[in-house]
Amino acid sequence: MVDCIVIGAGAAGVSAALTLKALKINFIWLGNKDLSVKIRSAEKIKNYPGLYGVSGGDLKDAFLSQINGEGIEITEDKVNGVYPSDGGYTVLGGKSSYEAKTVILATGVEALKPVKGEAEFLGRGVSYCAVCDGFLYRGKEIAVVIEGEEEFSEVQLLAQYARTIHLFCIKKLDLPAIENVMFEEGRLMEIKGDMRVKSVVCGGREIAVDGVFVLKQAIAADNLVHGLKTVGGQVEVARNGATNLAGVFAAGDVTGRPYQYAKAAGEGNVCAYSVNAYLNSLKTAK
């Protein structure tokens, strides 16, 4: 069990990781090795103090060289859930599970609004993780929603299990054909069922499916962490980043507006200090 797990590799996660390192706290950092898409895709940033007029790519390079310089590793794994466990939290990833005394959520703001029925059928036919749940749909018919090209490797994996995949892409993507993957036009509007998922609705059509994989960059924080208090989709935090769950802190866009690099970096920094104080309080309590 490590002291802390940082989830997310945007500006908040980067800042939290750098300061945890400076505070000599041992941690696992889960995210994209190439950092958050949101960092990379910014065109020109003028108000991040100290880096003037840089592109998202420049900022990403600056962050990565700093992370490498400090010998910090990013573990590339998608997080599907955070659950309380003995003395801390278990983070269920697609490849492995991880245990820590504290968690810093820096998962960003959800670009995609949840589809109607998504939260309701989560765990009952709706999954966020192809690696974890793909095998359950061997020979079955499923719908898959992807946000960008990043998720296509998961579609390829699912195609090895499922009989047919109805694929919904949020953005226009230029993807290679796969025999049993049908590229659907329009948006997936609703997930329907009773005890389990039975169908999806798209452009007035209803398609019978056994499961739905929603493969997004970010999952709504309260779907990710059971019992986490959110208000209007934002994690409610104190000034020190503490959430309603002891040992769970949150930083960056996930805590609300303004959606700004400087704000996110500041909150990541503060959370690292708060984790330090919390770990010290655990020692004293013993």
Q: Which residues bind its own copies (CB under 8 A)?
A: 11, 14-15, 18-19, 21-22, 46-53, 59, 62-63, 65-66, 69-70, 237, 239, 257-258, 260, 262-270, 273
- Selection from 170, 99, 97, 105 nearest residue 131 by Cα: 97
Minimum Å gap between C-beta 149 and its own copies is 26
65 or 96: whose CB is closer to its own copies?
65
65 or 160: whose CB is closer to its own copies?
65
- Selection from 14, 23, 11, 13 nearest residue 3 by Cα: 23
Minimum Å gap between C-beta 125 and its own copies is 38
55 or 90: whose CB is closer to its own copies?
55
24 or 113: whose CB is closer to its own copies?
24
51 or 112: whose CB is closer to its own copies?
51
237 or 248: whose CB is closer to its own copies?
237
**DSSP β-bridge partners for residue 181:** 165
Minimum Å gap between C-beta 248 and its own copies is 17
* Host H or E run for residue 261: helix 261-285
Which long-range CB contacts under 8 A does 77-83 form with residues at least 24 apart? 77/30, 78/128, 78/129, 78/131, 79/7, 79/30, 79/107, 79/219, 79/224, 80/127, 80/128, 80/129, 80/132, 80/219, 80/224, 81/224, 81/225, 81/226, 82/7, 82/224, 82/225, 82/226, 82/248, 83/226
Minimum Å gap between C-beta 103 and its own copies is 19
Q: Tokens representing 80?
A: 């599907």
Minimum Å gap between C-beta 117 and its own copies is 33
Q: Which value, to the nearest 10 degrees, does the dihedral of the CA atoms of residues 110, 113, 115, 118 take?
A: 40
Minimum Å gap between C-beta 14 and its own copies is 5
**DSSP β-bridge partners for residue 100:** 2, 89
- Selection from 191, 153, 150, 187 nearest residue 170 by Cα: 187
Q: How many CB atoms lie within 10 A of CB 182?
A: 11
13 or 134: whose CB is closer to its own copies?
13
Minimum Å gap between C-beta 19 and its own copies is 5
5 or 14: whose CB is closer to its own copies?
14
Minimum Å gap between C-beta 69 and its own copies is 6
Secondary structure (3-state) at 65: helix
Backbone angle region of 165, left / alpha / beta, with phi > 0 → left and psi within -120 to 50 → alpha: beta
Q: Tokens representing 216?
A: 């997004």
